Amino acid sequence: MDYKLWINGEWAASKGGRMMDVINPANGEKIASVVDASVADVDRAVQAAKTAFYDGRWSKLTPSARSLALLKLAVLLEKNTAELAKTESLNTGKPYEFVSVGADFPFMIDNVRFFAAAARDVHGSHAGEFMPGFTSMFRREPVGVVGQIAPWNYPLMMAIWKLGPALAAGCTVVLKPAPATPLTALMLGELLAEAGIPAGVVNVVSGGNETGQALVEHPDVRMVSLTGSTGTGKKVMKTAAETLKRVHLELGGKAPILVFDDANIDLVVEKVVLGATFNTGQDCTAATRVYAQGKQYEKAKEALTAAMKAVKVGDPFESGVTVGPLISAAQRERVIGFVDRAKKNGATVLTGGGIPGGMDKGYYFEPTVLCDVDQKAEIIQSEVFGPVITIQPFKKDEEAVEYGNDVAYGLAASLFTKDVGRAMRAAAALEFGTVWVNDHIPLTSETPHGGFKQSGFGKDLSAEAMGDYQITKHVMISHAS
């Protein structure tokens, strides 16, 4: 199937953009073609969003009317889950069960409902007398036209994480999905229209990095929200500086897991294996670096190796499969490169490290465990984005925190202990946007998600995310007239 662009509430033919193939990573076959949108296409989409913003068809609706449309969207996502989830599985290689009922859809539908409620939640200091004879009012206004750029690892869910708070705040949007996974974001256009979200409020332009660049450069875009790699975040921030746009950056991660000497090792194994293989390890919060104290080191090595070996890798539409392929041949080459270089630098492969036997069609990779790695090694310092974990020993509690913090990233971390004091001390000292105690990976719509350090800034999820799409205006009223 060939897709057009979704601009101003209808399918629009490209002006000058070429077509790009969309591939099924489970077998390498083409499943659709989409437009690689041109600069002129981006401009048309931005103009549609600009008109929709300034004529107030969305921003001047009452919060209750915006909320109602978002609630309708949640119902439509629920009704269309089977078709959308099938497309998402075909396009990403994620297990269908996992997308449809396990994680993506239930969570994104809950996100939409949360932001429908957040749109109506007015709180905080809004008016007062701060100088004799004057009343001051603080208005929380939508930022304006927002450019939203999504990654390939959770295509529709990342789009929803971005659209929910922006729409709740009253912004209008040009959304650019990742070039590898544009289908469900494009399919969302018609559902937005059916939900009663007016034409032009959300425009979807498929395309590659240059399309994204054109969106960031556009002078009528007031804010850019990117979920992507740290390298892309740096480029976007530099480009946005030219027009002094706000930037909201959800970037890469390299989550440590601190296993203290009193930790329940069975619980560690259950949570780390899920955290490392969830979405084939292509998750910015994926469990990647295990640090185990004293005698726990040998126990963790043995138990994690056995559990990672037992993970079922296979066809995304086969029941019980928890790990599908990586997103592309290039991504698999990248993961293989990291593991090979780690081996050359002395790492021992406890399990995995290659392509599973008999699975050369599609971009599959074995769940992998490495040990004998140096803290400064590339495999510890860089984001691999595949089902690969490392295990290192530590002696003192402070050492674990030091190792955990010793990377450029700061998105998510976890620690395992039965000692509340120890958990609180470590949680306070870890420089990460999320710290789990005795778990790894769960998130909720109410809780903020975002980075420290080079994992970026700005929050997805929670009321804080909606605040990121608002700007405060002070109106000062003299009592004299």
List residues with catalytic annotation: 250, 284
Could you tell me the CA-to-CA distances from 94 to 86, 98, 109 in Å, in that order?
10, 7, 18
Which range in 224-232, 315-323, 360-368, 468-476 contacts ligand NAD by CB under 6 A? Answer: 224-232
CB closer to ligand NAD, 235 vs 453: 235
* Residue listed under structure tokens 């609180």: 424
Contacts of 318 (CB under 8 A, 6+ apart): none
* Residue listed under structure tokens 């099924």: 24
| Closest approach of ligand NAD to the CB of residue 230, in Å | 6
CA-CA-CA-CA torsion sign (275, 278, 281, 284): negative
Rule CB under 6 A: say whether 284 interacts with ligand NAD. Answer: yes
CB closer to ligand NAD, 89 vs 92: 92
CA-CA-CA-CA torsion sign (280, 283, 286, 288): positive
In the chain, count of helices (H) and strands (E)? 16, 20
In the set 17, 95, 144, 179, which binds ligand NAD (CB under 6 A)? 179
In the set 34, 150, 171, 183, which binds ligand NAD (CB under 6 A)? 150
| Closest approach of ligand NAD to the CB of residue 262, in Å | 31
CB closer to ligand NAD, 7 vs 42: 42
In the set 5, 85, 251, 255, which binds ligand NAD (CB under 6 A)? 251
In the set 50, 176, 332, 422, which binds ligand NAD (CB under 6 A)? 176
Could you tell me the CA-to-CA distances from 345 to 35, 341, 373, 389, 447 in Å, in that order?
43, 6, 8, 16, 39
Number of residues forming the site for ligand NAD (CB under 6 A):
32
| Closest approach of ligand NAD to the CB of residue 131, in Å | 42
Which range in 61-69, 83-91, 148-156, 351-359 contacts ligand NAD by CB under 6 A? Answer: 148-156
In the set 157, 168, 178, 373, which binds ligand NAD (CB under 6 A)? 178
Mark residues 411-440: x for contact with ligand NAD by CB under 6 A, - for none. x-----------------------------
Mark residues 191-220: x for contact with ligand NAD by CB under 6 A, - for none. -----------------xx--xx--x----
In the set 144, 252, 281, 367, which binds ligand NAD (CB under 6 A)? 252
CA neighbor of 351 nearest in space, from 404, 387, 308: 308
Helices 39-54 + 209-217 axis angle, to 10: 40
In the set 229, 328, 351, 405, which binds ligand NAD (CB under 6 A)? 229
Helices 183-194 + 81-92 axis angle, to 10: 160
| Closest approach of ligand NAD to the CB of residue 199, in Å | 24
| Closest approach of ligand NAD to the CB of residue 429, in Å | 21
Rule CB under 6 A: say whether 67 interacts with ligand NAD. Answer: no
Long-range contacts of 318-321 (CB under 8 A, 24+ apart): 319/97, 321/95, 321/97
Q: Is 420 exposed, middle or buried (0-12, 13-18, 19+ CB in 10 A)?
A: exposed
Rule CB under 6 A: say whether 109 interacts with ligand NAD. Answer: no
In the set 91, 153, 322, 392, which binds ligand NAD (CB under 6 A)? 153
| Closest approach of ligand NAD to the CB of residue 149, in Å | 5
Residue 455 contacts residue 284 (beta carbons within 8 Å):
yes
Q: Name the DSSP letter for residue 53.
A: H
Q: Where are the strands (E) in 27-97, listed by range? A: 29-36
Q: Which of residues 37-66 bind ligand NAD (CB under 6 A)?
A: none
By beta carbon distance, the residue nearest ligand NAD is 212
Write out the two tokens for 244: 């002094």
171 three-state secondary structure: coil
CB closer to ligand NAD, 17 vs 252: 252
Q: Is 99 exposed, middle or buried (0-12, 13-18, 19+ CB in 10 A)?
A: buried
In the set 9, 17, 151, 314, which binds ligand NAD (CB under 6 A)? 151
Q: What are phi and psi of 24, to 5 degrees?
A: -85, 115
Consecutive H or E run containing 72? helix 63-79
Rule CB under 6 A: say whether 104 interacts with ligand NAD. Answer: no
| Closest approach of ligand NAD to the CB of residue 388, in Å | 14
Rule CB under 6 A: say whether 379 interacts with ligand NAD. Answer: no
| Closest approach of ligand NAD to the CB of residue 226, in Å | 6
Residue 139 contacts residue 473 (beta carbons within 8 Å):
yes
Q: Name the DSSP letter for residue 59.
A: T
Q: What is the DSSP string of 197-254?
A: PPTTSEEE----HHHHHHHHH-TT--EEEEES-HHHHHHHHHHHHTTT-EEEEE----
Rule CB under 6 A: say whether 468 interacts with ligand NAD. Answer: no
| Closest approach of ligand NAD to the CB of residue 224, in Å | 8
CA–CA gap between residue 299 and residue 297 (Å, rounded):
5
Rule CB under 6 A: say whether 228 interacts with ligand NAD. Answer: yes
Rule CB under 6 A: say whether 351 interacts with ligand NAD. Answer: no
> Where does this chain bind ligand NAD (CB under 6 A)?
149-153, 158, 176, 178-179, 208-209, 212-213, 216, 226-229, 232, 235-236, 250-253, 284, 383, 385, 411, 451, 455, 460
